[in-house]
Amino acid sequence: MGILVDKTTKVLVQGITGKEGSFHTQRMLEYGTNIVAGVTPYKGGQNFQNIPVFNTVSEAVKKIGPIDASVIFVPPTLAAQSIIEACLNGIKLIVVITEGIPQHDMLKVHYYLRKYGCKMVGPNCPGLATAGQSKIGIIPNSVLEPGIVGLVSRSGTISYEILKLLKDSGLGQSSVVGLGGDPLIGLRFKDVLEMFLEDEQTQAVVMVGEIGGSDEEDAAPVVSKLIKKNKPVIAFIAGRNAPEGKRMGHAGAIIMGKSGKPEYKIQKLQEAGAIVVDTINVIPKTILQELSKINVGK
């Protein structure tokens, strides 16, 4: 089954004719994503790979009909308005690849997300995928393989390595969600873990956190639910050696006092029943061991 998207999900690409948008639209099409329209102001009436391009989201919806999801490849200064435009036109899932969006703009975005009941993944994220069905964003096609492990991550590049490890081990993935590294993001660990809890295909979960914020700790109660449902959770926390007060990579990856410290995250996750690993290379082996224990106990 997987979560959030499948092969029937109708996808709109905002910024489809730009360098990044056109490149990754092609990769999404190759994966089988059901892209029904694109939007680039002043480029309406064109086609990209037989996909109609419109000037506005409103025009696209009027012509195509209801659209399920949008992916944003729009420059930072215009990205917030593009997200709001998607909300106003009934698109309930918005994946924001753009990084560097001003935080005061994102405050306005969150108002519209709440008002119109929309889910947002990102910004500054690699996107999401349900393996073998649909991919929205920039996750490499080559690392995706249908399987039983759900992955949710704050780090794009580390998650790609883990996806390859899961593929090579024969475990594969159910769905993959890259949350993004900014302070003000949409879906968070606890939201995605709740979805994996109810997804029949997902038999184990990999959770890739990093220093900064409290999202990993906030998700601990849902981790406990997953463990009780015999879905092992394997966690990895990146940035353990980062000095306090120094931002490392992502805007949200900063330790301030007790909050955001890796040892505190590890403690809370372990108390919830997660297995926290020191290196990503052991993740597939650890999952297989935990699933074996569950099967023996049945």
d(CA 60, CA 123) in angstroms, rounded, equals 23
Q: Are 253 and 247 in contact (CB under 8 A)?
A: yes
Catalytic residue among 24, 104, 110, 250: 250
Instruction: Compute, in degrees rounded to 10, the torsion defined by CA atoms 110, 114, 117, 120.
Output: 20
Q: Are 248 and 219 in contact (CB under 8 A)?
A: no
d(CA 99, CA 151) in angstroms, rounded, equals 21
Q: Are strands 233-238 and 275-276 parallel, antiparallel or unpaired?
A: parallel
Please name the residue that has the structure tokens 């873990």: 193
d(CA 104, CA 82) in angstroms, rounded, equals 15
d(CA 290, CA 276) in angstroms, rounded, equals 13
Q: Which of 253, 236, 138 is nearest to 185 (CA)?
A: 253
| Signed CA dihedral, 117, 139, 108, 248: sign only | positive
For the question of residue 250 being annotated catalytic, the response is: yes
Q: Are 241 and 247 in contact (CB under 8 A)?
A: no
d(CA 142, CA 163) in angstroms, rounded, equals 9
H or E element in which residue 92 lies: none
11 forms beta bridges with 35, 69
Q: Which two tokens stand for residue 139?
A: 């996750």
Q: Which two tokens stand for residue 163?
A: 């996806």
Active-site positions? Answer: 250
